Chains A and B, each alone.
Chain A
Amino acid sequence: GQQVMQIPQYQHVQEGEDFTTYCNSSTTLSNIQWYKQRPGGHPVFLIQLVKSGEVKKQKRLTFQFGEAKKNSSLHITATQTTDVGTYFCADVYGGSQGNLIFGKGTKLSVKP
């Protein structure tokens, strides 16, 4: 079945360092969504990318969608302790907005 791979699984950074997580698929992704889940919390929607090559920014976060729509990335500049959590990408499967195929996530820890 359709799978979304995410790397790395874990990332430990010093506060102020940059962080990037990558999302890959062997098949063309339809729309890619990114979520953040704090420890013990629930997934919170960050952004959706729709177009090939799309780049969107939210303050220190930069989201990219690959030209072939088979990969996506989330980059955080100058991490802060508030960035701690697990970042998930999700493909919108079969056109149904709620049937999301999630990657396994990248767990970010930030050392002050």
Chain B
Amino acid sequence: NAGVMQNPRHLVRRRGQEARLRCSPMKGHSHVYWYRQLPEEGLKFMVYLQKENIIDESGMPKERFSAEFPKEGPSILRIQQVVRGDSAAYFCASSPLGRTSGNTIYFGEGSWLTVV
């Protein structure tokens, strides 16, 4: 069974460019979560999506960040006009069910974004 697949693993962008991070959940999982981890910090929840729906985006910055999980294809986290402060590891996680307690979520290996 393939785990949660994220790409690219490493991405370098210049200030002002766009970054697109992709996440394919585990087979059979329809719930996707994005987290951001700054160096030496814990993970911060960003957004929770189901297919074609954003369920909870309370952790998303108000500007420049967007996320989608289309009917077909991977979930995309998009960061427009990147700034140095966006440099971080972005982790995607998935679960088979969202709001049912007892479910484990599984993290992908992360995408490391560096803004120069």
Contacts and interface: CB of A to CB of B under 8 A. Distances in A.
Query: Do the two chains bind?
Result: yes
Interface string A84-112: 00001010110111111111110000000
Interface stretch (A14-22, A40-48, A56-64, A69-77): A40-48
B56 A97 contact: no
B28 to A, nearest CB: 15
Contact of A99 (B42, B56, B101, B104): B56
Size bracket, chain B contacts: 20 to 34
A97 B101 contact: yes
A99 B33 contact: yes
A90 B97 CA distance: 18
Contact of A98 (B33, B102, B108, B109): B33
A78 interface: no
A92 B43 contact: no
Nearest to A6: B42
Contact of B48 (A6, A98, A104): A98
A50 interface: yes
B102 A48 contact: yes
B109 A50 contact: no
B101 A31 contact: yes
B1 interface: no
A42 B93 CA distance: 10
Contact of B95 (A31, A88, A98, A104): A98
Interface of B: 31, 33, 35, 41-45, 48, 55-56, 58-59, 91, 93, 95, 97-110
Given A42-B108, A90-B43, A96-B99, 11 more contacts: A41-B109, A42-B91, A45-B105, A48-B102, A95-B99, A95-B101, A97-B95, A98-B48, A100-B35, A100-B43, A105-B42
